[in-house]
């Protein structure tokens, strides 16, 4: 269970299932068993027709930035905004706000090739914010960045979280995770092996929060009521 307004890291070695969990939440894939709940709704049981509506309630930041190389920073964000159904006017209005938020207003006319890794990642985050989503999913946002740019991106995510956005980050960048001191869910081989608040209990392999048995009224991201273990 992840509650509304939380900042959660999904940690685990490569192939542990971090990205898969994010894809389950965003309904890019469907689980073989169990249920994925977002905002009280079982997303894996929703008809494909409703997936776009679900995605507009969440911002997704892919690992590879997924930026259009022949479009500028502003055009990349505008393109996504227009695709998501916003009018030109709405896009223009939101654009300034987003560019200011990701600190790239001075580079709005630059092409992705002219940006650093951190800046590209910020554009990807900016693009994920076009729907002003209450939930942000970031897959290895610091995977290709140096420590300085990693902290820059994380700071941006922290700022969003402080404004009320629930943020779930899949990462194996322990240095950054240690510095931020947020909730950490460790995954291995598709199973949750610990759920701790860093740094006090991180070393403790025993889970401190039961993902399955905590039926809070808040944003319930995923539960598996039919199963004893915490398979993801």
Partner 1 sequence: MFDRITFILGEWLVSIRRNLGMVLLGIITVSVCIFISAGLTLAYLGILKYGQNLTDKFEMRVFLKDQTSVQQISTIAQKIRTMDGVATVNWIPRDKAWAKFKAENPEKTKDLDNILPDAYKVVLKDLSKSDAIAATIQSLPEVEPDGVKYLQNTQKQVEESLRFLKWIGLVAGGLLALVSGVLIYIVVRLTAMSRRLELRIMSLVGATYTTIYTPLLLEGVFQGLLGGLLASLLLRLSYGQLQTAVQGYQALTGMPPFPNNQVFLVCSCAGAAYGLLCSIMALMNLRGKLR
Give the footprint of partner 1 on this chain (CB under 8 A).
26, 28, 49, 51-57, 60, 62, 66, 68, 79-85, 87-88, 127-128, 130-131
Q: How far is the CB of 88 from partner 1 (least distance, A)?
A: 6
- C-alpha dist (Å) from residue 12 to 17, 85, 146, 184: 8, 36, 20, 10
Which of residues 60 and 73 has its CB atom nearest to partner 1 in the complex? Answer: 60
Shorter beta-carbon distance to partner 1: residue 79 or 202: 79
Nearest to 56 by CA among 78, 85, 89, 95: 85
Neighbouring residues of 188: CB distance < 8 A, sequence distance ≥ 6? 12, 13, 16, 17
CB of 56 to partner 1, least distance (A): 3
Determine contact, residues 212/225, Cβ cutoff 8 Å.
yes
Minimum gap (Å) between residue 179 Cβ and partner 1? 28
In the complex with partner 1, the residue whose CB is nearer, 104 or 123, is 123
Least gap, CB of 48 to partner 1 (angstroms)? 8
Q: Pick the closest to residue 62 from 156, 138, 143 (CA basis).
A: 138
Between 36 and 184, CB nearer to partner 1: 36
Rg (CA), the chain: 17
């Amino acid at each position: 269970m992840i509650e509304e307004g939380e900042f959660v890291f999904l940690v685990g070695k490569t192939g542990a299932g971090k990205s898969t969990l994010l894809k389950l939440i965003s309904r890019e894939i469907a689980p073989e068993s169990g249920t994925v709940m977002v905002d009280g709704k079982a997303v894996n049981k929703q008809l494909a027709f409703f997936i776009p509506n679900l995605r507009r309630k969440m911002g997704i930041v892919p690992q590879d930035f997924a930026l259009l190389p022949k479009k500028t920073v502003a055009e990349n964000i505008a393109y996504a905004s227009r695709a998501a159904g916003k009018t030109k006017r709405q896009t223009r209005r939101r654009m300034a706000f987003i560019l200011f938020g990701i600190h790239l207003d001075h580079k709005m006319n630059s092409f992705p090739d002219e940006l650093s890794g951190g800046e590209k990642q910020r554009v990807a985050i900016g693009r994920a914010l076009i729907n002003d989503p209450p939930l942000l999913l970031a897959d290895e946002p610091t995977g290709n960045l140096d420590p300085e740019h990693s902290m820059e991106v994380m700071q941006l995510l922290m700022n969003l979280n402080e404004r009320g956005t629930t943020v779930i980050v899949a990462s194996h960048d322990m240095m950054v995770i240690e510095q931020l001191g947020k909730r950490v869910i460790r995954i291995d081989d598709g199973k949750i092996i610990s759920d701790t608040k860093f740094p006090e209990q991180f070393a403790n392999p025993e889970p401190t929060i039961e993902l399955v048995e905590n039926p809070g009224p808040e944003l319930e991201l995923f539960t598996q009521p039919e199963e004893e273990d915490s398979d993801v």
